Chains A and B, each alone.
Chain A
Amino acid sequence: AQTVTQSQPEMSVQEAETVTLSCTYDTSESDYYLFWYKQPPSRQMILVIRQEAYKQQNATENRFSVNFQKAAKSFSLKISDSQLGDAAMYFCAYKGVGAQKLVFGQGTRLTINP
């Protein structure tokens, strides 16, 4: 079974600085999808960024980018120019090609200090 591990329960960063959230996963599949979701206090999960395992190029969405290391099974999220609105729980998630269910990590609570 696939597992996703986020080793940082909490992280904090100064506004306008850069922060990196870590995620590792375990799978025997060669093709899959990886996601970072944001869950603010409003509770609604919002997709931040997605990476397809067969693509070597790291995904980027505005201030959000990933460092995808397939051999190491590592998928970190970098947030540049942090803003107060970035404060939330961040979840790393895995989805196999043959499945529709998401497997989530335990989450990292990100605090932005003004």
Chain B
Amino acid sequence: DAGVTQSPTHLIKTRGQQVTLRCSPKSGHDTVSWYQQALGQGPQFIFQYYEEEERQRGNFPDRFSGHQFPNYSSELNVNALLLGDSALYLCASSLFSSGARGEQYFGPGTRLTVT
């Protein structure tokens, strides 16, 4: 049973560029959440996708956008990259019908460095 997978593992981009990160949820899960974890900090919620729609959004600018595909996989896009976007980006999957008590399973993350 495959867990949550993310690609790529590491990524280096230049300021002003755009980046796309990918996530495949755990088998049987239908909801994907994205978190940003700056160095030495706890993860911060970016947004959540279910049924190919953004359901909840954290305090992140519109430069951060996402997409969910019919197979439940998801992409996180960041435009006009800033140095402050350098972080570990975590994807977590869950089953929407489990509600708040449902466990979120995390992927290993994508380390984004903006130079």
Q: List A residues at the B interface (Cβ < 8 Å).
A: 4, 6, 32-33, 37, 42-47, 50, 52, 91, 93, 95-107
Considering the complex, give the chain A residue whose CB is closest to the CB of B42. A104
Q: Are A50 and B88 in contact (CB under 8 A)?
A: no
**Total interface residues in chain B, CB < 8 Å:** 30
Chain B residues, Cβ within 8 Å of A50:
103
Q: Are B100 and A42 in contact (CB under 8 A)?
A: no
The CA-CA distance from A13 to B104 in the complex, in Å, is 29
Partner of A103, one of B45, B99, B103: B45
Partner of B42, one of A46, A95, A105: A105
Interface residues of B in 76-115 (CB under 8 A from A): 88, 90, 92, 94, 96, 99-109, 111
Q: List 13 A-B contacts (CB under 8 A).
A: A37-B106, A43-B111, A44-B106, A45-B90, A47-B104, A100-B100, A100-B102, A100-B104, A101-B33, A101-B56, A102-B43, A105-B42, A106-B40
Chain A residues, Cβ within 8 Å of B71:
none
Given A91-B42, A104-B42, A105-B42, is A99 in contact with B100 using a C-beta cutoff of 8 Å? Answer: yes
Chain A residues, Cβ within 8 Å of B107:
44
Given A43-B88, A50-B103, A95-B100, is A102 in contact with B45 using a C-beta cutoff of 8 Å? Answer: yes
Rounded to whole Å, the gap between the CB of B89 and the closest CB of chain A is 11
Partner of B56, one of A4, A6, A37, A99: A99
Chain A residues, Cβ within 8 Å of B100:
32-33, 95-100
Rounded to whole Å, the gap between the CB of B4 and the closest CB of chain A is 9
Rounded to whole Å, the gap between the CB of A90 and the closest CB of chain B is 10
Q: Any chain A CB within 8 A of the CB of B73?
A: no
Q: Are B109 and A43 in contact (CB under 8 A)?
A: yes
The CA-CA distance from A83 to B104 in the complex, in Å, is 25
Chain A residues, Cβ within 8 Å of B109:
43-44
Chain B residues, Cβ within 8 Å of A102:
33, 35, 43, 45, 92, 104
Interface residues of B in 39-97 (CB under 8 A from A): 40-45, 48, 55-56, 58, 88, 90, 92, 94, 96
